[in-house]
Amino acid sequence: MQQNIKWGIIGCGDVTEVKSGPAYSLVEGFELVAVMRRTLELAKDYAKRHHVKKYYDDAEALINDKEVDAVYIATPPDSHHFYALKVAEANKICCIEKPMAPSYKECLEITIAFAKRELPLFVAYYRRSLPRFNKIKALLEAQSIGEVRHIYWNLSRTQSDVDRSKDYNWRTDATIAPAGYFDDLASHGLDLFIYLLGDIEVAKGISLNQQNIYSAKDAISGNWMHKSGVLGVASWNFGVYKREDKVRIVGSKGEINFSIFLDEPIVLLTNGNRNEFHIDNPKHIQKYHVENMQQHLKKQIQHPSTGSTATHTTWVMDSILDKI
C-alpha cells in the first residue's frame, strides 16, 4: 500500500457529518481530499467545514479525479450499484454504505466487478468492528453460555414525525427501500448475527404494509438457520406504541442480552449470575471500521465487512422478504 490513501466521498449527507466522514481524515494513512453532493453549494459548505480541498456536484468527476485513490459511496442505496460499477471501472478502492444495494442480484454484480479487477471492496457494516460487539463475539467463542441454540430479536418503534407528516423520506419509498426501515435498520442486526454466529443456510419470512402511510413495507417477521444449526427468529414493526430493541442469544448454559441500536449494557446470565459489560461507542462510530480498512490495505488483518459478507447479508434479507 502506498504511504497515503486519498479518499473521496460521494453523497455528503447526515451519515457523513459525524458517524463516518471525519474518520477518513483522522485515521493515519488516510486522507479525505474530495467530496461530492448534487448541489454544489452544499458540497462547498461541507468541504469548508471539514477542511476538504476539493468539492464536486458530479460524481463521475470525483471518481475520475487522478488524486482520488478510493471512493466512499454514501448515497441512498438505489444508486450504490451505479456508482460502485463506475468506481470499479476506474480501478479504485471502494467502501459502500449499507445496505450494499437494494437487491442480492445487484450486490452480486458489484462484488464480481471488484473481484475481477482484484480491487478491495468494503461495506459499512461497522458493528463488526466495534469493541462493544466484539465483546459479545469473545463471550461466544469462550463458550460463556455453552453451545448456542437460539437467537431472538425484536425491533419496534413508534411512527416518526416524518412518517406522520407524510413528508418525503427515501427510507420509506418502496422504489428505493422496498421494505422501508427494515432495509435500513434490520440489515445492521442480521449482518451482525452472521458475524457472531456464522453464515445463514436458510431464511424465510412474511412482510406487509400494516399502516398504509407510506409505500414501503412496515411489518416483517423472519426466521432462519445458521449453518452451525443455530436457529433465529425476529420481528420488526415500525408502527407500534413504544420503542424496543432486544436481542437474546440463548445457549445450553446461559444467555446474552443486548441491543443493536440502544446504549444499553451487554448482560451475561449464567447459573443464576448476572454480569454487565458497559462499552461505549466512539464519537465517530465508523472509526474502527475505517481503521480496519487501513490495516487490511496494509495486509495486516482481514477486514470483517467486505463485499462478499455484505452480499450474503442481502441474500438473507431478500430471502426473508421472499424476493428470491
Q: What is the pLDDT along the chain (324 residues), one digit of tens a residue?
A: 567 999 999 999 999 999 999 999 999 999 999 999 999 999 999 999 999 999 999 999 999 999 999 999 999 999 999 999 999 999 999 999 999 999 999 999 999 999 999 999 999 999 999 999 999 999 999 999 999 999 999 999 999 888 888 889 999 999 999 999 999 999 999 999 999 999 999 999 999 999 999 999 999 999 999 999 999 999 999 999 999 999 999 999 999 999 999 999 999 999 999 999 999 999 999 999 999 999 999 999 999 999 999 999 999 999 999 998
* DSSP β-bridge partners for residue 34: 8, 54
Q: What is the pTM of this model?
A: 0.96
Identify whether the C-beta of residue 115 lies closer than 8 Å to the C-beta of residue 274.
no
Distance of alpha carbon 267 from the chain centroid: 24
CA 92: distance to chain centroid? Answer: 21
